[in-house]
Amino acid sequence: MGVLLPFCFDDGMTGTGRLTLSVLEGEFAVAQVPPGSSLPLWAARGLLWAVVGAPGEVSVVTGAANVPPDVRAEPGWVALRLHGPFPFELTGILAAVLNPLRDAGVGIFALSTFDTDYVLVKADRLPDALAALRRAGHEITDS
């Protein structure tokens, strides 16, 4: 088993580095729509979706089947859900997942919500990702 990384609170307390993750059903896509675009109706459907507007771009994560054929997109992603909630002052949560994936050569696309985080990996790398996370001491569940 790998070394468990501690999560650190601002007050110096630490918690276990073991996280519980699960794989969401379905294929996801990361898409790009023109800067200044409003929320595309096709994006806000399904189990997991997010729209992020930033200077010069608008990115969309949604079910791959939702993306119209004329939209620039990268399909073939699988989503891993970190089981939260995690307090905002807790640090190291994503690093505890991303570092083992980096070490295994698995690329990611990360999303955060108020309560938790999601890490997308390409479907063909899912077995490698799960093996790396288990080696790092994390638990993968069905729910």
Give all domains of the chain, ordered by start, each with its CATH number: 17-133 (3.30.2130.10)
CA distance 103 to 143: 26
C-alpha angle 127-79-106 in degrees, rounded to nearest 5: 45
- Asked whether the predicted pLDDT for residue 15 surpasses 70, the reply is no
CA distance 127 to 96: 18
Strand partners, 73: 31
Contacts of 89 (CB under 8 A, 6+ apart): 9, 10
User: pLDDT for 82-100, tens place per residue?
Assistant: 998 787 877 788 889 999 9
Looking at per-residue pLDDT, the higher value among 115 and 50 belongs to 50
